[in-house]
A and B are shown apart, each in its own frame.
Chain A
Amino acid sequence: MSYTIEGSTGSWEVVIGLEVHAQVISRAKLFSGAATDFGAAPNTQVSFVDAAFPGMLPVINRECVAQAVRTGLGLAAHINMVSRFDRKNYFYADLPAGYQISQYAHPIVGAGTIEIELADGSTRAIGVTRLHLEQDAGKSLHDQHPSLSYIDLNRAGVALMEIVSEPDLRSPEEAGAYLRKLRTILRYLGTCDGNMEEGSMRADVNVSVRPHGAPFRTRCEVKNVNSVRFVMQAIEAEARRQIEVWEAGGTVEQETRLFDAARGSTRSMRSKEDAHDYRYFPDPDLLPLVLDEAWVAELEAGLPELPDARRRRFIAQYGLPAYDSGVLVAEQATADYYETVAKGRDAKLAANYVMGDLFAALNRTGRGIGDSPVSADALGALLDLLADATINGRIAKEVFEAMVETGEHPAAIVDRQGLRQVTDAGAIDAAVERVLAANADKVGEYRGGREKLFGFFVGQVMKAMAGKGNPGLVNAALRKHLGETGE
């Protein structure tokens, strides 16, 4: 079922391509030895290269190159053994050199693929056109002074990977799935932290619309959208705007637009009319980047298991549904946590606890898997207590909540609170007899045919035993007592 927008003249298909800027994880910048840490005092992480002082020359950071190659390999993309750096020329106050060093004609990584999973369980392969390395610009603050903009060059020169998709996406949902999947892959690879709030991952969104099956029409680029949700909103808003233009008999002009999240609409960036005349040319300060086959092979050998492979393994090894596997592998830390819990235990029960009780507890306490109040080993120990029948399923939920509260080991909680399951037949029989005696009227109804009351008796017996009765034994004892005196 494909996504369309109904206009007054018929239904329209939306065509989307994404350009994602992903900040490379490295200690130093792409072409200088200044630090890349987020949040430092203004202009304290700036070298004379970054500030474009005359005569300063760029020297490329080997790790940034390695990160781009790793990312390319993680996207199943072609690695270009020879690539080149070009100057992209434009004037802006946060770009001191008047040009950005980028890769135009010869990027380091060529065509690849990202497989996205959609809510209905289907998957689609989305083409990646290319990935290239480039410098980030500095940061402008426009709200500090009525007539001045403040410039901080700490970010200037930090390495970015621009990852360009084919115009293969057809709905806001697919675009969101693509971004989330790309972020997951980058995080697994350790090449970008994917933090959109801090701006270490930003998206430019290319949108056009067409009647079904018609050729591509003119696209507009919505710049610098900084969350998955905003990307999805921007696509819909921009598509609706373009449909209105076409249906009113007008023509969509190719232009750069901004998404206004507060208004939920896009607007033109008219001042960038010359912005697309970048006059690229090869940077004479930098020789071609030639990769060594052995080095690329070494980087490939060092790659971690990637999310798609891990998801397939979870399905095969643990017998989990595709959906559960997808949820568990979305974050590496969650997948690691799950595997620690599942090791040597009931894998499906482990998945239920991680995705149910644990996720709920993390949500409630506002914590992440990394600082979970319940460690994977502790949750595993809880499942062991269940498996060896020390406690029953209901008590396990209580113990889990106590673990969230106190961070204590489950065995300690069970011992201190006396939650050990009662398997002593005499004690269970006594409780059953007490309950039946106290509810003689209900016993009569049950025997008169209201069999649904069986659940009531189970509940009463469990209550009488403070929830600690072994459910199987309690059921058996009840059947026995209700049956034998029933004639």
Chain B
Amino acid sequence: MSLDPATVRRIARLARIRVEESELGRLQGELNGILGWIEQLNEVDVTGVEPLTGVAQVALKMRPDAVTDGGMADEVLANAPQRAGGFFAVPKVVE
């Protein structure tokens, strides 16, 4: 599998990372290198093996349905570039 420059551009756009045209070639090479390395895993026969989604083989821990958090709007908003009263304020995004 190998990525073309258009795909690299698209991935960058979806991740909201600005990539200059001049950087595309280098990024394409690096990403293809990583993909090639991962593709080696395809050589392993995994027939009949359940997918492993984590290395910690314990059950998902659940918590009780109790309100234990919140009530700290100022802390939540502390890093906001801009706020309006209790709201985050962001450049207008509207349909």
Contacts and interface: CB of A to CB of B under 8 A. Distances in A.
Interface string A49-62: 10100000001111
B14 A33 contact: no
Nearest to A292: B59
A332 B79 CA distance: 47
A97 to B, nearest CB: 13
A484 B70 CA distance: 87
Nearest to A82: B50
A28 B68 contact: yes
Interface string B62-90: 11111111111101110000101111111
A235 B1 CA distance: 42
A35 B67 CA distance: 5
- Pick the 9 closest A-B CB pairs, nearest first: A33-B68, A63-B65, A33-B69, A34-B70, A150-B87, A42-B86, A47-B69, A62-B62, A151-B88
Contact of B86 (A43, A51, A93): A43
Nearest to B73: A43
A274 B63 CA distance: 36
Nearest to A64: B65
Interface residues of A, number: 55
A205 interface: no
Interface of A: 26-28, 32-35, 41-49, 51, 59-65, 84, 89, 91-93, 140-142, 144-153, 258, 269, 271, 274, 277, 279, 282, 284, 286-290
A47 B91 CA distance: 24
Nearest to A46: B76
Contacts of A49: 69
Contacts of B89: 145, 148-151
A84 B60 CA distance: 10
A44 B70 contact: yes
Contact of A43 (B53, B82, B88, B94): B88
Contact of B91 (A26, A27, A149): A149
Contact of B76 (A150, A153, A287): A153
30 contacts: A27-B65, A28-B66, A28-B67, A33-B67, A35-B67, A41-B73, A41-B86, A42-B87, A44-B70, A44-B71, A62-B64, A65-B62, A93-B88, A142-B92, A144-B87, A145-B89, A146-B92, A148-B82, A151-B87, A151-B90, A152-B86, A152-B87, A152-B88, A153-B88, A258-B95, A274-B14, A286-B60, A287-B56, A287-B59, A290-B60
B53 A287 contact: yes
Interface of B: 13-14, 16, 53-54, 56, 58-73, 75-77, 82, 84-95
B60 A60 contact: yes
B76 to A, nearest CB: 5
A60 B63 contact: yes
B interface secondary structure, majority: loop
A interface secondary structure, majority: loop
Contact of A33 (B61, B63, B82): B63
B67 A148 contact: no
Given A27-B65, A151-B89, 10 more contacts: A28-B65, A33-B70, A41-B73, A42-B87, A43-B76, A46-B70, A62-B64, A64-B65, A92-B93, A148-B82
A60 B62 contact: yes
Contacts of A92: 93
Contacts of B87: 42-43, 141, 144, 150-152
B95 A269 contact: yes
A149 B90 contact: yes
A62 B89 CA distance: 34
A229 B68 CA distance: 39
Nearest to B94: A142
A290 B60 CA distance: 7
Q: Considering residues B72, B77, B94, B95, which has the most beta carbons from chain A within 10 angstroms of its beta carbon? A: B95
Contacts of B71: 44-45
Contacts of B60: 60, 286-290
Nearest to A279: B14
A482 B36 CA distance: 108
A293 to B, nearest CB: 14
A42 B87 CA distance: 6
B73 A148 contact: no
